[in-house]
Amino acid sequence: MTAMNLTAVKAIYVFEMKRTFRTLLQSVVAPVMSTSLYFVVFGAAIGSRIDQVEGVSYGAFIVPGLIMLTVLTQSVTNAAFGIYFPKFIGTIYELLSAPASFLEITAGYVLAAATKSFAIGLIILGTAFFFVDLNILHPLWMLTFFVLTCLSFSLLGFIIGIWAGNFEQLQLVPLLVLQPLIFLGGAFYSVSMLPDFWQTVTYFNPVVYLVSGFRWSFYGLADVPIGLSLFAILAFTGICIGVIWLIFKTGWRLRD
């Protein structure tokens, strides 16, 4: 087994991070400002009408969901655009002919996308302290779920970027699929607040397990067992890696 070409990983990673700094306003400032508006609207306006959810003030209760909303969306978007542009301008062929394996190419793009979304998530977490009183009961678990979510959904975004044939398709999944799943995944409410039928339906939404596990790390509150949440994100990560390996093995959408 050959050692990983870390030079290739570093070259892709540095290039992607430099692209982020060139578009800092769009990449960082915009998502942070939009999430701050959520704090104002949901935390102040709606929070004034909903006192507490399971013993936690509503403004604090929605913080993990808001962070997940931004992190999931940014992870997918950053990774998708990162690999789509080489396809769009034709440099993907140079990348494929370089002495770099699928694992090294994937690692460069995915780590860059995960770094961006992780940084944005940390900024939003810091911003939340200006709006509500936060208490993180399990900081190590919070960090674990945080990192795994950034990595797994960056892998998903990488797959979407390869699949997309144009800019419309590139934005289709994050806008029409991912965000509805997040909003219906308990980001702004507890699943226990729903009628029994809709609780059952909600458990088929994979985002529920991510939001539940992340919220548990803050307040010890979970809609599903913490072990199941961890298993769900690890299984999702493994599936994404398997799909990417298959894409590079067959050349699907890469050599079209």
Give the pLDDT confidence score for residue 44 in this predicted structure.
64
- How far apart CA 67 and CA 123 sit, in angstroms, is 10
Angle subtended at Cα 33 by Cα 180 and Cα 202, rounded to the nearest 5 degrees: 20
User: Is 61's pLDDT higher than 60?
Assistant: yes
Closest CA to 213 of 151, 144, 155, 150: 144
pLDDT in tens, 87-142: 988 888 888 888 888 899 999 999 999 999 999 999 889 888 888 888 899 999 99
Give the pLDDT confidence score for residue 192 in this predicted structure.
86
Highest mean pLDDT among 130-134, 154-158, 192-196, 197-201: 154-158
User: Is 256's pLDDT higher than 70?
Assistant: no
Q: Name beta bridge partners: 52.
A: 57
Number of domains in the chain: 1
**Is the residue at 229 inside a domain?**
yes
pLDDT in tens, 225-251: 999 999 999 999 999 999 999 999 998
Listed in sequence order, the residues at least 6 apart from 199 whose beta carbon sits closer than 8 Å to its beta carbon are 191, 192
Question: Lowest mean pLDDT: which of 45-59, 85-99, 188-202?
Answer: 45-59
Indicate the SS3 state at residue 132: coil
- How far apart CA 215 and CA 238 sit, in angstroms, is 23
**Is the residue at 1 inside a domain?**
no
Give the pLDDT confidence score for residue 27 in this predicted structure.
66
Domain residues for the domain of 230 are: 6-250
**Is the residue at 134 inside a domain?**
yes
pTM confidence score: 0.91
CB 243 within 8 A of CB 228: no
E strand map for the chain: 52-53, 56-57
Mean pLDDT of 164-170: 88
Q: What is the CA radius of gyration of the chain?
A: 19
Mean pLDDT of 138-156: 96
Mean pLDDT of 30-44: 73
**Is the residue at 117 inside a domain?**
yes
Give the pLDDT confidence score for residue 59 in this predicted structure.
83
- How far apart CA 78 and CA 84 sit, in angstroms, is 10
**Is the residue at 224 inside a domain?**
yes
Question: Lowest mean pLDDT: which of 77-81, 82-86, 184-188, 225-229?
Answer: 184-188
Mean pLDDT of 21-49: 70
Sign (positive/negative) of CA torsion 218, 224, 225, 226? negative
CB 72 within 8 A of CB 207: yes
Give the pLDDT confidence score for residue 19 in this predicted structure.
81
